[in-house]
A = this chain, B = another copy of it.
Amino acid sequence: MYKVQKLLVNYKTLEEFKKFKEYGVQELSMLEDLQENIIENDSESPFYGIYYGNKLVARMSLYRIDGHYDRYFDPPQDYLELWKLEVLPDYHGKGFGSALVQYAKSYNLPVKTNARQRSSEFWEKMNFSSVTYNPNRDRGENPYVWYPDGVHEQQDPTTDNSLIKETDLSSESIES
């Protein structure tokens, strides 16, 4: 039983984020916005985390996507996108990751994530399933989803097939 809490954007939290491997453009941009007073100190972030004592040991970000854009679930509906789930190495195997995923599922909305390398076993343990890969929709992702009761995989999602052009990259090999 861990307490999951929404994280606020401030210098302390951003400093703690640096310990996570998936620190990148998003976090740097939050830091800049804070330094330039574009966002206020302690404004809401899309991140949720678990503290162990005073230390942030696990985090994820969670966004609610409008059902109008749902191309994963049937019936189409609002769903949650879960990104950057990560537990600091010294705190693995203690259920922090599962607690965050449980928290996401507690909204009882479908959940979609882009599973990292070699993490399918974890997601399957969490009752997530892989989807039928659709290059236009999934674009290099490794999507795993969780279906609440009564929700199923969307068949033939109406992706815009003109997004990817099919016949225009030469198939000849070149010397590089």
Contacts and interface: CB of A to CB of B under 8 A. Distances in A.
Interface residues of A, number: 65
A93 interface: no
A167 to B, nearest CB: 9
- Count the copies: 2
Interface majority SS on A: helix, strand, loop or mixed? mixed
B25 A164 contact: no
Which 3 residue pairs spanning A and B have beta carbons closest together? A83-B140, A29-B133, A24-B142
Interface of A: 1-6, 21-22, 24-26, 28-30, 44, 46, 61-66, 68-69, 78, 80-81, 83-84, 99-100, 102-103, 106-107, 114-115, 117-118, 120, 130-133, 135, 138-144, 160, 162-165, 168-169, 171-176
